[in-house]
Structure 1
Amino acid sequence: MSDLTLTLIGGPTALIEIGGFRLLTDPTFDQPGEYDLPHVKLVKTAGPAVAPGQIGTVDAVLLSHDQHSDNLDNSGRVFLKSAERVLTTKAGASRLGGHAEGLEPWASASLTKPDGSQLAVTATPARHGPAGIEPLSGDVIGFVLEGMAKRAIYITGDTVWYDGVAEVARRFDVGLVMPFAGSAQTRGPFHLTMDVNDVIETAHAFPDALVVPLHYDGWQHFRQSGDDLRHSFATLGFGERLRLLAPGRPTGIVLD
């Protein structure tokens, strides 16, 4: 068992501290505003709970994808320059350049401390919407962290529930799942991130894992909230498995 602390910054951005390692998911630090993408306009409604200058040094940024502003905004791109490592998709690493490292699904990278402690980071498949969305959404990955706790941590990245997520459950003993939720809708009447049903399916696939969702507020294109998740989990009788983080407040988690 290793000490684990999670701090929600906002949207998909969270600081994960485990066994002396510090990792940041999809960095978004801009204040509210509008972002014009090739196919849609995104509107951010809430700023970060923690400013980038307050984060400190991180061992790696876990960037699920670089092509959407609600996962990597202008301030987030600046933050990448200060990270020891940036792990992302192959296509994203090519676009970002610098010290970004691209991973295909199921490929792994190792983070090592001077004392020899290691944290393995494995890229996992993700599908950012319904089947066939890939030419529009581009490549996305999630991440599994192993090595500093008895059980793994799974960060889904922007994905819906599909067999790629189920395959993660078949391959890894996961004690904590961090689904990107909110039922994002921008292009049509279909969701691009997990809706409540997808999160429930994910919870069943990892039957005794704690569920700590990210990326369900702070943007206009989210159609479901943390309250929707809380109510649904409680109604189905496993509300104790859901943990909603208070923005900006470090929260200790025990992984047995």
Structure 2
Amino acid sequence: MRIQYLRNATLLIEWNNKNILVDPMLGVKDSLDPVPNAANTIRNPMTELPLDDAALKELLSSLDAIIVTHRHRDHWDVTAQAILPKSIPLFCQPEDESAIREQAFTQVIPVITNVTWENILISRTGGQHGTGEIGKMMAPVSGFVLQEGNTTLYIAGDTIWCEEVAAALDTYQPDYVVVNAGAAQFLQGDPITMTAADVIKTIRHPAAAKVIAVHMGAINHCYLTRQQLREAVAAENLTAIIPEQGEWITLS
């Protein structure tokens, strides 16, 4: 199995000759308005996809399934809604099924607890997209666990470190954990995605194996950079995989 990190939380997972696209944000640079109530007014995405038009077209034609952890526009943008194949399996949280079906996708599969697809067990986990009232407003969000044979991948989704993440680690004992870092934050309230401290807590959790940190450098209210996270992890004598856009990660 291997993963290509594309941008923000968008991942291409190659697993046993199946291609799964996670949280597609496929629009060109500057195609989305800034996230409001942030410390800047930079348009989103702040970077281009690491794919030219031909490569993106090839990717779309190769897909076998899509996973949408939640419908916030940096995980499911208008371009993705327009250009993704409408008839391939799309896995989502139950709260998003109707809206995605209304966007003409015909094989929308809500994951209540778990489903099996092509011998891969897909389970849904919880999370907290912030604290207090902001966390409630940003909900619901989900993570997804993929299991096949002896390999388990946990995609935590847009969540801070919380009991739900710890419980998922304890329950599924994943080989790899993808966490959305970036310390996204509005002008009021606490961060709504993982800070460096949250990523470090994930790495230190007894049930966590290798941590892959993404969701940095593409959205205007994400202030934690890859370099800052690398330095914070190294200062604790820990390790994490912090890929650049377009980078492939081989999962052993």
Question: How much does 1:207 deviate?
Answer: 4.8
Runs of 4+ more than 6 Å apart:
36-42
Structure-2 residue corresponding to 1:108: 114
Structure 1 216/38 Cα, relative in aligned 2: closer, same or farther at 3 Å?
closer
Structure-2 residue corresponding to 1:181: 181
Structure-1 residue corresponding to 2:2: 5
Q: How does 1:212-251 map to 2 (within 5 A)?
A: 212-239=212-239, 242-251=240-249
Q: What is the alpha-carbon distance in structure 2 between the residues aligned to residue 9 and residue 16 of structure 1?
A: 11
Q: What is the alpha-carbon distance in structure 1 between the residues aligned to residue 34 and residue 226 of structure 2?
A: 26
Q: What is the alpha-carbon distance in structure 2 between the residues aligned to residue 198 and residue 14 of structure 1?
A: 21
Q: How does 1:186-205 map to 2 (within 5 A)?
A: 186=186, 188-205=188-205
Secondary structure of residue in 1 paired with 2:202:
helix
Percentage of matched positions with identical amino acids: 22
Structure 1 246/135 Cα, relative in aligned 2: closer, same or farther at 3 Å?
closer
| Aligned partner letter, 2:12 | L
The answer to whether the 8 A contact 1:156-1:177 is kept is yes
Q: Which moved more, 1:207-216 or 1:168-177?
A: 207-216
Gapped regions of structure 2 (runs ≥ 5) = none
Structure 1 187/76 Cα, relative in aligned 2: closer, same or farther at 3 Å?
farther
Alignment partner of 1:137 is 2:135: no
Gapped regions of structure 1 (runs ≥ 5) = 113-117
Structure 1 10/37 Cα, relative in aligned 2: closer, same or farther at 3 Å?
closer
Indicate the RMSD between aligned Cα atoms, in angstroms.
2.1
Question: How much does 1:36 deviate?
Answer: 6.7
Secondary structure of residue in 1 paired with 2:27:
coil
Question: How much does 1:216 deviate?
Answer: 1.3
Structure 1 135/237 Cα, relative in aligned 2: closer, same or farther at 3 Å?
closer
Question: How much does 1:78 deviate?
Answer: 2.2
Q: TM-score normalised to the size of structure 1?
A: 0.86
Question: How much does 1:226 deviate?
Answer: 1.0
Structure-1 residue corresponding to 2:28: 31
Q: Which moved more, 1:195-204 or 1:38-47?
A: 38-47
Q: How many residue pairs were aligned? A: 240
Secondary structure of residue in 1 paired with 2:62:
coil
Secondary structure of residue in 1 paired with 2:43:
strand
Question: How much does 1:246 deviate?
Answer: 2.9
Q: What is the alpha-carbon distance in structure 2 between the residues aligned to residue 123 and residue 89 of structure 1?
A: 8
Question: How much does 1:129 deviate?
Answer: 0.7
